[in-house]
């Protein structure tokens, strides 16, 4: 049975899309069949990390939501992005991306008309069946809206990304409270863009005490990540980097949680 992982942040700019892309890549390299769906329809972007150019995106999630196609028709096999980094003999799984459209007309239509969230939920289930997925990772829109609530409600694990920032802390408190009211199965926190000068062990302890939620990992603010500028998967480009090792540890904790669920 496939596991649904919702990856969320209360505010934008937390590095959510990069984290979800690297977790998905790690899972695929470990032999899992993984799908990522970009439900951040108002400001999509995860397709850039996988080198999926706009002119190659014949269909997107928007087309499914407007009834123009089946959801499986919007899925792009991006497993080759793992092979292109020299992993041809180590890629045991598969990786699929369901992008949202970057076209201004499509984004403005969403803002103007909204979309059928029930149809979106049905699409999640159809993707799992048609692609025979082990994991479906949902890249949610920041903040709390109807789509986010549905994603949180159906997920096996909710992964919340935050920075060591007062606004992020307050917004995360709201998200955790809402997730508990929705009876979210499992919740994990990831702190990102933390200055290396911080005491990570102390920060982990403080955050876990504030929210009573486990911190799965703390990722430092990295010049290497900034220079990469979302032009590829960090964990493949920098396989021995501390961030890559932390991503692997976060992925392992997610796997443990779903096994115990």
Domains and CATH numbers, the chain: 3-260 (3.40.50.300)
Beta bridge partners of 33: 94
- The residue that leads in pLDDT, 26 or 256, is 26
Q: Pairing state of beta strands 157-162 and 187-194?
A: parallel
Considering only CA atoms, which of 250, 259, 177, 188 is closest in space to residue 219? 250
pLDDT of residue 184: 80
Q: How far apart are CA 138 and CA 91, in angstroms?
A: 22
- Quote the distance between the C-alpha of residue 191 and its chain's center: 14
**Confidence (pLDDT) at 111:** 81
- Distance CA(29)–CA(44), nearest Å, equals 25
Tell me the pLDDT of the chain averaged across its residues.
92
Strand runs (DSSP E) across the chain, as ranges? 3-8, 33-38, 76-77, 94-98, 135-139, 157-162, 187-194, 215-220
| pLDDT above 80 for 261 | no
Q: Is the pLDDT of residue 88 over 70?
A: no
- The pLDDT tens digits for 5-48 are 999 999 999 999 999 999 999 999 999 999 999 998 888 999 99
Read off the pLDDT of each residue in 54-78 and give the average, rounded to a whole number.
93
Is residue 85 scored above 60 in pLDDT?
no
- Specify the residue for token string 């977790």: 23
Least Cα distance to 155 among 121, 118, 189 occurs for 121
- Of 7-11, 80-84, 109-113, 161-165, the range with the lowest mean pLDDT is 80-84
Closest residue by Cα to residue 152 from 1, 6, 40, 44: 6
Q: Please give the average per-residue pLDDT across 51-73, as a whole number.
A: 92
Percent over 90 (pLDDT), the chain: 75
Q: Give pLDDT tens digits for 176-218.
A: 999 999 988 799 999 999 999 999 999 999 999 999 999 999 9
What's the rounded Cα separation, in Å, for the pair 198 and 7? 25
Other residues' Cβ atoms within 10 Å of the Cβ of residue 129: 11
Asked whether the predicted pLDDT for residue 260 surpasses 70, the reply is no
DSSP structure string for 46-66: HHHHTT--GGG-SS-HHHHHT
What is the pTM (predicted TM-score) of this model? Answer: 0.95
């Amino acid at each position: 049975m496939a596991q649904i992982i919702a990856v969320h942040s209360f505010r934008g700019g937390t590095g959510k899309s990069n984290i979800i892309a690297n977790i998905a890549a790690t899972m695929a390299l470990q032999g899992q069949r993984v799908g990522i769906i970009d439900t951040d329809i108002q400001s999509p972007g995860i397709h850039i990390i996988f080198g999926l150019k706009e002119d190659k995106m014949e269909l997107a999630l928007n087309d499914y939501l407007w009834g123009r196609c089946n959801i499986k028709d919007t899925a792009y096999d991006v497993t080759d992005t793992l092979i292109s980094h020299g992993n041809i003999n180590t890629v045991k799984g598969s990786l699929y991306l369901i992008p949202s459209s970057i076209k201004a007309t499509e984004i403005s239509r969403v803002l103007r008309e909204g979309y059928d969230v029930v149809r979106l939920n049905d699409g999640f289930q159809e993707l799992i069946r048609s692609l025979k997925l082990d994991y479906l990772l949902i890249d949610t829109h920041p903040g709390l809206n109807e789509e986010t609530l549905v994603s949180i409600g159906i997920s096996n694990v909710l992964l919340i990304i935050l920075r060591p920032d007062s606004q992020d802390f307050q917004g995360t408190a709201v998200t955790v409270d809402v997730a508990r009211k929705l009876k979210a199965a499992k919740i994990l926190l990831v702190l990102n863009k933390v200055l290396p000068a911080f005491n990570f062990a102390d920060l982990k302890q403080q955050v876990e005490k504030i929210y009573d939620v486990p911190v799965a990992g703390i990722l430092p603010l990295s010049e290497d990540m900034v220079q990469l500028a979302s032009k590829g998967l960090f964990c493949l480009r920098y396989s021995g980097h501390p961030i890559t090792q932390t991503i692997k540890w976060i992925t392992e904790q997610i796997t443990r949680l779903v096994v115990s669920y």
